[in-house]
A and B are shown apart, each in its own frame.
Chain A
Amino acid sequence: MHHSSLLLDSQNWFNTLPLASLEVGQHLFWQIGGLKVHGQVLITSWVVIGLLVLVSVLATRNVERVPSGLQNLMEYALEFVRDLTKNQIGEKEYRPWVPFVGTLFLFIFISNWSGALFPWKLISLPEGELAAPTNDINTTVALALCTSLAYFYAGFRKKGLGYFRKYIEPTPVLLPIAILEDFTKPLSLSFRLFGNILADELVVAVLVLLVPLIVPLPVMLLGLFTSGIQALVFATLAGAYIHEALEGHGDEEEAH
């Protein structure tokens, strides 16, 4: 909280400059039922989702044996996420998890890059500003919780209640750590992504404030790189967690 107030202070100071402005922690609030939601995050996420669905529909509208154009591109993407999932989960059980891990990767990747490449700031909102959906903690926590749900679902479907054996499997001494892991996994997943994307956008914004021309470009390129890496890391870790839930300690010892 101390940090955010500091940033808010600095924002007030920066607002006196005419060139650019920096906003953190300001949201376009919508009221849905009894819930307050961040409108700007939902809008950009809808754009990202719409883009993904549109491209997918266009790519698979007319599937050919010899792919061309969009189909080729999407097959490349599919092969990429399929290899990623296969590397993490293993040849035997990766197939049902390709959609989940693949969608995680594509959604995060397109979100990050949309934040870096699309000039959202040209569309002005009454409050807050449009940016990558992944620079809001709600989005990253939502994705991380989905990952947690996914690996619990994977473990329970494979082993039923025997899934709990993995908590005490090598030795019951590690039980607290094993339980703690279930909390640290989504925490680290969400904060890693959130921190990277927000920090990247802040750095770019601050540099643009200080030197509006040329100088922010290398940082922007670095931001693109980081965005891709973060999407890859998130999807890879999700795959690894699912693999862990599927395998468990007991199975691994049997296999070796």
Chain B
Amino acid sequence: MFDFDGTLPLMMIQFLLLVAVLNAVFFRPLTQAMDERDGFIRTNNTDARERLAKAKQLTLQYEQELAGTRKQSQQVIAEAQTVAQKIAQDQITEVRQQVQAEVMQAQAQLESEKQSAFGELQKQVDTLSRQILDKLLGATLAS
């Protein structure tokens, strides 16, 4: 069972050769491949992380811009409403004044027409009353 012979050194030599051969065809290429893959994954991961951070920053920026724009638009609307209200008020006041002026004018015209009509009537009353008087008195005078 314990008989040592030439197998021992031969086995040592062929084992060391096996180490060299496996190092060349197995350990080195596969280690290199795995390291390269590690590097690839790490680079990709870093890239993706950077892109994610960038995207997050952009989102934040957009949200801020959006909020600003919304505020601005509300302001514009409020301003426009104020201006419109003011214009409407102005126009209403103007129209009201105009209407009042027209009413006044119409009243004045009416008054003057009334006056003239009264004057005419008065004149007619005078004429008619003289005619009546004439008629009445003339008959009396004639009789």
Contacts and interface: CB of A to CB of B under 8 A. Distances in A.
Most buried by A among B7, B14, B40: B7
A78 B26 contact: yes
A19 interface: no
B8 to A, nearest CB: 4
Contacts of B31: 78, 82, 98
Interface SS of chain A: helix, strand, loop or mixed?
A: helix
A102 B27 contact: yes
A93 interface: no
B6 A63 contact: no
A82 B29 CA distance: 14
Contacts of A146: 12, 15-16
Given A75-B34, A138-B4, A141-B8, 16 more contacts: A4-B2, A7-B1, A33-B6, A37-B10, A60-B26, A60-B30, A63-B29, A71-B30, A82-B31, A98-B27, A99-B19, A99-B22, A99-B27, A99-B28, A136-B7, A143-B11
A78 B7 contact: no
A121 interface: no
9 contacts: A33-B6, A37-B10, A53-B22, A56-B26, A59-B30, A75-B30, A107-B18, A133-B11, A145-B12
Given A56-B22, A78-B27, A78-B30, A137 B1 contact: yes
Give the interface size bracket for A toward B: 35 or more
Contacts of B15: 103, 107, 142-143, 146
A37 B21 contact: no
Contacts of A227: none
Most buried by A among B5, B10, B11: B11
B33 interface: yes
A99 B4 contact: no
Contacts of A133: 11
Contacts of A67: 33
B37 A65 contact: yes
B14 A49 contact: yes
Interface in A26-82: 27, 32-33, 35-38, 41-42, 45-46, 49, 52-53, 56-57, 59-60, 63, 65, 67, 71, 74-75, 78-79, 82
Contacts of A24: 1
Contacts of B28: 99
A53 B25 CA distance: 8
Given A59-B30, A78-B31, A45 B14 contact: yes
A111 to B, nearest CB: 11
Interface string A144-183: 0110000000000000000000000000000000000000
Contact of A38 (B5, B27, B29): B5
A18 to B, nearest CB: 26
Contacts of B27: 78, 98-99, 102
B22 to A, nearest CB: 5
B4 A141 contact: yes
B38 to A, nearest CB: 11
A139 interface: yes
Contacts of A246: none
A146 B2 CA distance: 19
Nearest to B25: A56
Q: Which 9 A-B pairs have the closest CB atoms?
A: A35-B6, A56-B26, A142-B11, A138-B7, A99-B23, A37-B6, A142-B12, A60-B29, A138-B8
Contacts of A119: none
